[in-house]
């Protein structure tokens, strides 16, 4: 596999950036994004054509991005994840896509691309680009596999102070729902939501910290301060490449989770529409797929490009698939708007100790 150090350095250097920070370049394309995705290897064809990178502005989480956009922040492209897209469409933040301007549209994974919640009135509003897994990740020198056979390990008092969960409502509730036996959170009942919330409350006293990015989690796990986490496969990919004793157990008794994110064009986009599509098309190149898998440990939505990669290489970054793993996966797809608002509000209470 290719060197992961560049990715780790990019993420670590991005920690100080916020939604108010920006990396200025081509003023005709402003991309509102997660810090780290300004990595020039993601859009080399764009830079080759236009001679410069887009201008990037950054957000810390999707709710922050949503509120800032509703307040009038102007950009051309934005990078939401699947569960947020319906809310953003209904709020009028996103513009419909002209898929005829995306030559590799038919190469995209249809299970991501064709989700009805990403469409309205026959138009698409979301181009999936990156995907990954969130699963139980642990230090193999400090814990045995038998200690982490179940997600219930997160709630075991013997691990108090040695656990970290993501400061991310979707990943947190993916854990909560899985722990109580729910694989389809879109159809979860009120009782199942209450049970998932109760599990997260049970875990909260064991938390050393809620991590906000992969680089900070890797530091905690490298030091041994944290030995059990609910983490993206980026953490496993980077740390295992660097020789740290780390494993990602996606086949716990309850399973693991998968997510997909992508780009949309903003309805108030002041910049160049042609450059927006050039940026998207650069992202969908096979070279970008190869880079994100080998350097970031994430999957790519270009199914044609992903099909050329070996299962051995995919397994090395936690992206292998099997019937058993698919059956045990909670897909972080869109949830009803009212449920998502419940999740956001309840997670804030849980983190505050209520």
SS3 for 239-299, per residue? HHHCCCCEEEECCCCCCEEEEEEEEEEECCCCCCHHHHHHHHHHHCCHHHHHHHHHHHCCE
- Asked whether the beta carbons of 275 and 281 are under 8 A apart, the reply is no
DSSP 215: H
Looking at the structure of the chain, the number of domains it has is 2
Q: How far apart are CA 4 and CA 241, in angstroms?
A: 7
For residues 204 and 334, state if they share a domain. Answer: yes
Considering only residues 93 and 15, tell me which one the structure prediction assigns the higher pLDDT. 93
For residue 225, the cross-strand partners are none
For residues 303 and 326, state if they share a domain. Answer: no
Q: How far apart are CA 124 and CA 287, in angstroms?
A: 25
DSSP 99: G
**At 71, which CATH number?**
3.40.190.10
Nearest Cα to Cα of residue 100 among 304, 273, 313: 273
End-to-end CA distance of the chain: 44
For residues 238 and 267, state if they share a domain. Answer: no
Q: How far apart are CA 228 and CA 8, in angstroms?
A: 20
Alpha-carbon separation of residue 298 from 52, 89, 120, 125, 254 (angstroms): 25, 26, 28, 22, 22
Q: How far apart are CA 308 and CA 304, in angstroms?
A: 7
12 — pLDDT class (breaks 50, 70, 90):
very low
pLDDT tens figures, 255-289: 999 999 999 999 999 999 999 999 999 999 999 99
For residues 111 and 154, state if they share a domain. Answer: no
Q: How far apart are CA 66 and CA 93, in angstroms?
A: 9
293 — pLDDT class (breaks 50, 70, 90):
very high
For residues 332 and 251, state if they share a domain. Answer: yes
For residues 24 and 146, state if they share a domain. Answer: no
For residues 189 and 157, state if they share a domain. Answer: yes
14 — pLDDT class (breaks 50, 70, 90):
very low
pLDDT tens figures, 186-245: 999 999 999 999 999 999 999 999 998 888 899 999 999 999 999 998 899 889 889 999
For residues 344 and 198, state if they share a domain. Answer: yes
For residues 270 and 250, state if they share a domain. Answer: no
Arithmetic mean of pLDDT over the chain = 91
Q: How far apart are CA 318 and CA 249, in angstroms?
A: 9
Q: How far apart are CA 285 and CA 273, in angstroms?
A: 19
Q: How far apart are CA 27 and CA 117, in angstroms?
A: 31
pLDDT tens figures, 39-53: 999 999 999 999 999
Q: What is the pTM of this model?
A: 0.84
- Asked whether the beta carbons of 8 and 238 are under 8 A apart, the reply is yes
Nearest Cα to Cα of residue 268 among 41, 30, 107: 30
Token code pair at residue 185: 């959170």
For residues 203 and 310, state if they share a domain. Answer: no
Angle 344-350-351 (CA atoms, 0-180°, nearest 5)? 90
Q: Which domain holds residue 158?
A: 133-258+321-351
SS3 26: strand
- Strand 119-120 to strand 228-232: parallel, antiparallel, or no bridges (unpaired)? unpaired
Q: What is the pLDDT of residue 214?
A: 83
**Residue whose tokens read 């939401």:** 80
For residues 148 and 102, state if they share a domain. Answer: no
For residues 108 and 190, state if they share a domain. Answer: no
| Residue percentage of the chain with pLDDT more than 90 | 77
- Asked whether the beta carbons of 239 and 214 are under 8 A apart, the reply is no
- Strand 77-78 to strand 256-266: parallel, antiparallel, or no bridges (unpaired)? antiparallel
Token code pair at residue 278: 């050039």
């Amino acid at each position: 596999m290719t060197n992961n150090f560049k990715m780790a350095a990019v993420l670590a250097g991005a920690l100080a950036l916020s939604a108010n920070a920006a990396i200025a370049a081509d003023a005709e394309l402003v991309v509102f994004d997660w810090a780290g995705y300004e990595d020039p290897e993601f859009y080399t064809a764009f830079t080759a054509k236009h001679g410069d990178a887009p201008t990037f502005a950054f957000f810390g989480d999707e709710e922050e991005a949503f509120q800032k956009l509703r307040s009038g922040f102007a950009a051309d492209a934005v990078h939401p994840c699947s569960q947020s897209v319906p809310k953003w469409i209904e709020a009028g933040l996103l513009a419909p896509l002209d898929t005829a301007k995306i030559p590799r549209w038919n190469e995209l994974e249809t299970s991501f691309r064709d989700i009805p919640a990403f469409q309205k009135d026959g138009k698409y509003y979301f181009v999936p680009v990156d995907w990954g897994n969130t699963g139980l990740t642990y230090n193999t020198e400090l814990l045995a596999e038998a200690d982490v056979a179940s997600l219930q390990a997160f709630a075991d008092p013997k691990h108090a102070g040695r656990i970290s969960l993501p400061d991310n409502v979707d990943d947190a509730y993916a854990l909560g729902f899985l722990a109580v036996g729910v694989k389809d959170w879109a159809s979860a009942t009120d009782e199942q939501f209450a049970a998932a919330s109760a599990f997260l409350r049970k875990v909260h006293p064991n938390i050393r910290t809620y991590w906000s990015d992969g680089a900070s989690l890797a530091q905690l796990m490298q030091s041994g301060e944290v030995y059990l986490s609910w983490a993206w496969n980026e953490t496993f990919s980077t740390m295992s490449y660097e020789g740290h004793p780390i494993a990602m157990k996606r086949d716990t008794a309850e399973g693991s989770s998968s997510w997909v994110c992508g780009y949309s064009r903003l309805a108030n986009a002041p910049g160049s529409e042609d450059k927006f599509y050039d940026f998207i098309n650069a992202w969908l190149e096979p070279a970008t797929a190869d880079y994100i898998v080998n350097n970031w440990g994430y999957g790519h939505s270009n199914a044609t490009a992903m099909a050329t990669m070996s299962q051995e290489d995919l397994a090395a970054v936690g992206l292998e698939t099997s019937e058993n793993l698919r059956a045990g996966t909670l897909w972080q797809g869109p949830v009803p708007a009212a449920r998502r608002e419940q999740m956001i509000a309840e997670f804030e209470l849980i983190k505050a100790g209520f």
